[in-house]
Structure 1
């Protein structure tokens, strides 16, 4: 019989409860199918903490009292993309990570790992909204904003919201093989492995608006009518500026090109149409893609799946008739 696998989850005041409960539920469910995960909730001092929802979280002890963990996991929080990670929290992560078999972060837990120097020179990910901030704080880290999770050696980082569940399933599969992991996924009614990147769930429409009124005129135009003629020349003519000047505006304010911006808006529109039950051909036409094939190429690049595969996996409603 294999030895128990000891998992320590670092929690602290303001910790996102789902980042703790989601992965823990995966490991607990795996025990029903033959695994032997022993989970301990640990805080920097051993004192109980208060989650982001205001709930008290009872801990099993101080993180320093749990040496030699098989898996050391750091949950995320909304606090630390906005402010610096306190030194005592970074210190609380550094020592157990050095001795753990593998080190894992969920969502913005990556900021704690980065503050502890545990992501230096490594590939990593976090929630797409704060990936740029992580890259600024850890300049030697290669941040991959479109990944659901990233493994670099024995360090694992995951994206936002439910991506911690995806990563936990991947760890279960690594430990016990695909059959047991598949049983856990079925029991929890989640996908065994989500295809594509985190960009499945990020929307350009939700990004920061352009600073200049000039560029907002163009982005509003594209958003209001994705099917229109939004070639570089047409957009520049609409503003009575040169194509070079318009390209520079997009680069400086949105870090993209006009063509990529238009493509992103059309992609979001097409995805919403597929979710509503439109056929792929209808979605391509209504979203303004020149052809189904052009839409398929965008889906393949952004999600690594076809529009039809996306619709099978992710749409939950269908139009009547």
Structure 2
């Protein structure tokens, strides 16, 4: 047998009386190529590798067709995305609005938490300060005037700054008292007004106490010099004058001063203050000079 040529096949087909179904044209897929040389190789390979399709079969998709059609699908998706862009913009705006709302809520929540913390801290600190202040109020210092000693007393004639003649008194004395800080958790700073000795409402001697700091639960003995130099007595000095310059009769005197104590319990925020006004009635006996005069029962504390 010999192979039939294309012309013989055509003549046989034309002369054959039997009806055969029409044939569909052959399909082949050509992959895109960068240059014509590669394209010719791809076409030749695809032509020889692609089988003849049957009438009822659909052309298979090769990897080359997938690569060839991918750009088209991307373009279609981009076109679809572009067509739905207004709706998506609305969705994006709504989502951004929700996110911004959440951010605002978080910021407000943080601010609220900070304000609540600050107010709570201030409230607790105020409460703590009030507790300390209330606890420190009963812990008042205790003061006891012990004695006063007159070292020198002299009455002599003289004149005041205007030249008026009058009796004048000079004295030198020392006052002693104890100061006790009863505070269990704070010290105190102690100061005083001038200590004044008066006779018939005339201040004849005065003294200044040096300020000091007293530690908690401690005490000290304080000595203050109370002196006067040539204080005019005017008409009140007639009963005190003598030829020796010393009083011949007991002389009633009054001692007055205010002792001020300040405690720093919590820095300068909690600093309770204690005031004690002290008044003592003293009798100066000329026969007991240079001897301490007890004042335990002669003073009042207000």
- What is the TM-score when the length of structure 2 is the normalising length? 0.21
Identify the structure with the greater strand proportion.
Answer: 2
Q: Compare CA radii of gyration and give the structure with the larger one.
A: 2
- What is the TM-score when the length of structure 1 is the normalising length? 0.20
